[in-house]
Amino acid sequence: MVAKQHTKPDPHAFTVCYVRRSAHHRWLCCDITFSCPNQGLRQQWIQAISENLALLSHRPRCLLVYINPHGGRHLAKWIYDRKVAPLFCRAGISTDVIITERANHARDHLRAQHGDLKKYDGVVCVGGDGMVNEILHGLVSRTQTDHRVDQNQPDAHLVPCSLRIGIIPAGSTDCICYTTMGTNDPVTSALHIIVGDSQPMDVCSVHNNNTFLKYSVSLLGYGFYGDVLTDSEKKRWMGPLRYDLAGVKTFLSHNYYEGSIWFVPAQETQGQPRDQEQCLAGCHVCQQGSYSEKKKLKHLSEDEKFIKGSGSEWCVVRGKFLAVNAATVSCACPRSPRGLSPSAHLADGTADLILVRKCSRFGFFRHLLRHTNADDQFDHPFVEVHRVRRFLFQPKNQEVSDSTEDLSDSEMEKRVKTNAFRPICHASDDITAQSNWTCDGEILPHAAIQAAVSVMNSTTNARQKERQREK
């Protein structure tokens, strides 16, 4: 990783720091010391190694770091100072550090930067999923504004950001970090940043009534998870324990919500939500997914892209749901190591739409329990899962008067093209009878939403989990 002079005890020795893979996807920073017969040879080695390291242009030299001191167990600053900053220093990376003073501080700061971001090679987020989402939102919005992309168009083709986000986990769940790298270890994250790893990610843009709301990279959840989040926010002072308490309370209240979900199945993708395949390094589903998306859209006009992506294949499901979840990635975390949708992919341009219909408390408990063990959580009569490219949720009290279920394909296309969903996505002021959506662990106070997934290159400083050798 870096060569440095070694003065004691051997004046002709030098030390090289390198990355060693450890169990459970962790990386360690190790040292190896070489002894030279004389000072001249030592200098030659140090110079040669330093020159070769300087040629690695994908490695960052200057980073912008945001630390959320209030995330998780309030340890973000300590984690950064003790575990991460020394590694950046050894790797010769300079940093500008901003400790956030309020929610959305980082997002607003990034949005306000114009040319100032050019001096950085990346942005580092020290916090949890909410903080990652905030930074992603700021960076992606900044990029779209710079390229005059209208984010209020649900079908807008997003321009990838030139800066990658490095995630140092210091939150309560750290699902985004755990899902991409297979661990929530700050040292591992720091080392991925230092070696300049780059991982494309699926980014889901969320709209309401053709107004852009947020980007999501992990979970969009309505019903159970929306309620857990809403309740847990009131108990933030409890730290990560708030999720347990809110989870039990929400489970006991057993609320269900009525509505309709329209979705476009991802027919061309190679993977399926229940194929037991994991998204690992060199994943062929992600490679095929991003390739076919580019190929499919390359020669089409903007209107054609929208129709192609949303027109003829809409399906609809209506009913009473305990939970409606859209997992853009597996959403694995230490409590649920396989995640909400174990076979979801990091960058195939799809989300797994999981619909949990009204069922008994015991049935729902069995479904939830399966998130923590190896059993198939979709193997229940009241659960269905679809791999989708876009979807639209409409709560019962905001539904259109005429049914779109019986429309012919061409009529449906016409409606989509002329924004026929606009009236049915009308936001209501009265949300008391409805749940909220949770978007990467933050509350979205809307029930009716439109969501579309696209692959965004070089989003994070991570790499897909590698297959671990059985011990």
Q: Which residues bind ligand ATP (CB under 6 A)?
A: 68-72, 100-105, 127-131, 134, 171-174, 441-442
The least CB distance from residue 242 to ligand ATP, in Å, is: 9
- Least Å from the CB of residue 415 to ligand ATP: 36
Tell me the residue nearest to ligand ATP as measured from the CB: 128
Between 425 and 439, name the residue whose CB sits nearer to ligand ATP: 439
Instruction: Provide the token pair at 100.
Output: 């956030």
Nearest to ligand ATP of 66, 222 (CB atom): 66
Residue 268 C-alpha from the chain's centroid: 23
Closest approach, Cβ 129 to ligand ATP, in A, equals: 4
| Min CB(29)–ligand ATP separation in Å | 24
- How many Å from the N-terminal Cα to the C-terminal Cα in the chain? 27
- Minimum distance of ligand ATP from residue 172's CB (angstroms): 4
Round to whole Å and give the CA distance between 257 and 222.
9
Which residues carry out catalysis?
A: 129
Minimum CB distance to ligand ATP smaller for 126 or for 453: 126
Q: Are 254 and 235 in contact (CB under 8 A)?
A: no
Rounded to whole angstroms, the Cα distance separating 414 from 372 reads 44
**Cα 77 from Cα 84, distance rounded (Å):** 10
- Identity of the residue, 123 or 131, whose beta carbon is nearer to ligand ATP in the bound complex: 131
Can you name the residues that pair with 73 across neighbouring β-strands?
none
Could you give the CA distance from residue 465 to residue 175 in angstroms, rounded to a whole number?
14
- Taking the complex as a whole, the smallest distance from the CB of residue 244 to ligand ATP amounts, in Å, to 12
Question: In the complex with ligand ATP, which residue's Cβ is closer, 213 or 425?
Answer: 213
CA gap 353, 378 in Å, rounded:
11
Residue 102 or 471: the one with the smaller Cβ distance to ligand ATP is 102
